[in-house]
Chain A
Amino acid sequence: MLTLKLAFRNILGAGLRTWLNVVSLSFAFVTIIFLQGMYHAMNDQAEQATIDALYGGGQYWQKDYDPFDPLSLTDAHSAIPAELEPLVRANEATPILIRQATIYPQGRFRTVLLKGIDPNQRIVSIPSSFLHAESGTIPALIGTRMAKSTGLRKGDALTVQWRDVHGTFDARDVTIVEVFKTSVQEIDQEQLWIPLDQLQAITRMPNEATVVVLSKSPLTAGQGARPSTVSAGWEFKDLNFLLRDIHELVRTKNVGGAIMYSILLFLAMLAIFDTQVLSIWRRKKEIGTLMALGMTRTNVIGLFTLEGGCHAVMAAVVGALYGIPLLGYLASTGIALPSAADSIGFAIGERIFPIYSAGLIAGTTILVSIVTTIVSFLPSRRIADLKPTDALRGKLS
C-alpha cells in the first residue's frame, strides 16, 4: 500500500513526462480495442452476410456436388427429396439448380455458373423477384462484380450456351433484368441467375436441384421442420461446415490482426521501457537516497515497477475518457469502407460497425497492464545490482 502511494506520488509529481507516457499508452489502448472491434465486426458481418445471401439455415447438397470442382456439376443434380417438398412449399426452403454454361458478352467467351432460383423465394437475400420480368427472352440477374468484369448492364442481351441432361449443347439469349449489389462474392462472380423453372426446362431436369437452402427459422426453432433423414443422394451441410472457409479466412486474418496488435503493444511498451530506463538513469541519486533513508533494494524495485504499472492504470482511465465516446460513436454510425475493400475476399458491406465486447475491453486492459508491469520490471531489475554508495554518487554500477 505504501509502495503504491509512493508510486502514485512519484508519477504525478513527474508531471508532463508522466502525462506524455499516459496519453501515448492510452492511444495504444484505444487503437488496439478499436482495431480488434473492427476485426470482430468484419468477421461477424462477413459471416452474417454470407448466411443471409447464400447459406441460410444450412443446405442439403446433392451427393455429387462439390463447389470446388466444376466437373462435379455435370452429375450434381437430382429430384428434390420428397421430405423437403413441404418446406419448399411453405417457403422454408428454396432449391437451386447449378449448371455450367458459357456466355459471350461483347463477343468474348466466358465460362459461368448458371444458377436457377425460384423468383418467389425469400430464403436468401438474392433479389430473385426481378426474375418475374417479362422480356421475351430468359430474364437473368447478375451482381455488380460480374457486370463490371463483363461490361454487361441492365437491359443487355447475351447468348448463353449449356449442355442439357443428355449432354447436348443448346443456346438461348438472356436479358439482364437487374444488376444487384452484394457484399458476398460467392453469389456474384462469374454467375448468372435465372428462374429455376426455366433452367429446369432448358436443361431437361424437371423438379431437380443441386442444393436446397433452408431458411434460418427451422434451425432457430430447434429441431423444427428440418427432416432428420432425407432421400439417399442428399446430404445435409450445417453452418459449421458451410462457414469453415470463412472461419479459416478469419483465423488467417486474425494472424494479421495479432501482428498489428503486437506492433502497437510493442510501440507502447517501448515508450514505457524507455521511460523506465531513463528514470533509473536520471534518478540514480534518488535511488541512493531512498536506500539511505531505509528502503531495501526490493522496495525500490517494487516502487519503480509499480510506477510503470501505474502508467497503464492511468492510461486506461484517460483512454476511457475519450475512448468510450469515440468508439461508441463509431460503433453507432459505422465506418465507411473504401470500394477497394471489396477486393480482399471477404464479404464486407459499405459500412462496418465495430463491435466492442466487454471481454475485448477487459482482456486488452488486463493484457496491457500485465505487459506494462513486466516491461517496467525489466529495467528496474538493474537496481538490484546497484550499490547505495554508487547510487548516491550518481553512478550506475
Chain B
Amino acid sequence: MPDSTLITTANLDKIYPLGLTMLKALDQINLSVTNGEFVGLVGPSGSGKTTLLNIIGSLDEPTNGSATVLGHSIKSLSHKEAAQLRNRHIGFIFQTFNLLPVYTVFENVEFPLLLQGVNSFRRHKLVMDALEWVGLADRAESKPAQLSGGESQRVAIARAIVKKPEILLADEPTANLDAANSHHIMKTMMQLNKELRTTFIFATHDEKVIAYLRRKITLVDGKIERDEDMTVKRVVPQ
C-alpha cells in the first residue's frame, strides 16, 4: 500500500478559558502523519498531548488553524459527521480502559459494530477474530470487573480494532499497567500496525512505550519541540 497522508494540522492552536485568563494548550502545531505510522506524542503533563489527540479524534476542535483527518476538516464537521468519522475510521484506547461495565467482554467489543449496523453473523465473527488477536477469546463472557488491568486494556484494544479503523489513538495506554503487561500491550499494537497497517498515535510519557515508537513528536508547553524518526536508533525491549 503506498504511503498517504491521513492527518495534517496547520497552524493549529487550542485555547481554553481558565478563570479570567486564557490557556494556550496547543500553539502553532504543524504536522502530518501518513498511513501505517507508529507515532508517539511525548511530553510532560500539560504539554498538550491529549488535547492534540482529542482534536485528531474529532472529540474536540481547534480554536485556530486547521486539522484534517482522512480528508475531513475537523472544524467543519457537524456532531453527527464527527461521530460517524469516529465510529468508522478511528479507534480509541484510553488510560483507564473505559470498558462499559455492564457489558460482557464480547458485548464491549461488539459495540462499535452494533453502531455500524453490521449483521449478527458477521459481528460475531469479527468480535471473535479481534478477541483472538488479543488472546482473550476464552474470556468473551466475562464482565470487565472480572478482568485484570492488562486484560482490560487488551479488550479495549480489541474494541478499537474490531472495526478495522485507519487510525488508532491511544492515550497513555500503559499508565495503569505493570511492566510486563505494558510490553505485552505494546507488542500487540506493533503487530496490529504491521499486519493491518493501522496508523497508531500514542500520547504518552511512559519510557516503556517510547521505546517502541518509530516516530516521536515531543511537545513542550503546547509546541512541537522535536519530531524524530526513531527507526534508526530504536532498540525494542525483550
Contact = CB atoms under 8 A, between A and B. Distances in A.
A302 B142 CA distance: 27
B54 A294 contact: no
Interface in A276-302: 285-286, 288-299
A285 B97 CA distance: 11
Nearest to A391: B59
Given A2-B114, A6-B114, A392-B94, A292 B57 contact: yes
Nearest to B92: A292
A350 B54 CA distance: 72
B60 A387 contact: yes
Contacts of A295: 83, 87, 115
A389 B54 CA distance: 7
Nearest to A13: B102
Interface string B85-117: 011100010101010111100010001101111
A365 B191 CA distance: 55
A297 B103 CA distance: 20
Contacts of A10: 102
Q: Size class of B's contact patch?
A: 20 to 34
B84 A389 contact: no
Interface residues of A, number: 26
B233 interface: no
Contacts of B107: 9
A286 B59 CA distance: 14
A292 B100 contact: no
B122 interface: no
A294 B112 CA distance: 7
A284 to B, nearest CB: 11
Contacts of A290: 100
Given A9-B102, A293-B92, A296-B83, A389 B59 contact: yes
Contact of A289 (B83, B98, B116, B117): B98
Contacts of A388: 54, 59-60
B87 A293 contact: yes
A293 B112 contact: yes
A340 interface: no
Given A2-B115, A389-B60, A291 B83 contact: yes
Contact of B98 (A5, A9, A285, A387): A285
Interface in B158-199: 159
17 contacts: A5-B114, A13-B101, A13-B102, A14-B102, A285-B98, A286-B98, A292-B57, A292-B86, A292-B94, A293-B86, A294-B83, A294-B88, A295-B87, A296-B79, A296-B80, A298-B80, A389-B54
Interface of A: 2, 5-6, 9-10, 12-14, 285-286, 288-299, 387-389, 392
